[in-house]
Amino acid sequence: MSDVRSEKTEVTLRSKTMHLDFAGSGEVERDGNAVRLTGLRLVAELPDAGGPEDGGTVVLEQAGDSAQVGGEVAVPLAAVVEQPGASVRLRTLEDVRWTAGAGGDLEPADDEVGFVLVEAPESTVLTVRGLALRTGSS
């Protein structure tokens, strides 16, 4: 497994926008032009301004196998937002897509990724913008 990070990633949780530093692990495998992503798990700390919905963590986790779609790798992602007194599980409606950059880095093919409640897919709870994945050996 390699260390994976996405720094200064713009995130909107409910209606509050912030920049978070995600860190975690995953493996980017290349075979010619094909790219495969496995075991992706990223965690970021939410800022704590002292309010009832402040603080906690956001976990982004691969929820299935990656697929090669043209020059992009597509991955189903899930999210868990844990805050004082509550834990919310979210999913994307479509796979998240990246293009292969230098080394094992992946650049976002989508400007933003929306996460919804499974039981209420019409309402986006979490939006992540510019989720670039930077890799390094662990």
pLDDT value at 103 more than 80: no
Query: Any idea where the domains of the chain sit in the sequence?
Result: 2-137
Q: Which two tokens stand for residue 111?
A: 């400007």
Mean pLDDT of 7-19: 94
| Number of C-beta neighbours around residue 50 at 10 A | 6
Question: pLDDT grade, residue 138 (50/70/90)?
Answer: very low
pLDDT value at 31 more than 70: yes
pLDDT value at 85 more than 90: no
pLDDT value at 16 more than 50: yes
Q: Which residue has the higher pLDDT, 87 or 50?
A: 87
Give the percent of the chain with pLDDT over 70: 95
Mean pLDDT of 18-34: 91
pLDDT value at 137 more than 60: no
In the chain, % helix, strand, coil (3-state, to 5) comes to 0, 70, 30
Find all residues with CB under 8 Å of 81, minimum gap 6, and list them. Answer: 13, 46, 56, 57, 58, 59, 87, 88, 90, 125, 126
pLDDT value at 100 more than 60: yes
Mean pLDDT of 39-68: 90
| Contact present, 9 and 131 (Cβ < 8 Å) | yes
Mean pLDDT of 58-78: 95
Q: What is the mean pLDDT of the chain?
A: 91
pLDDT computed for residue 52 by the predictor: 63
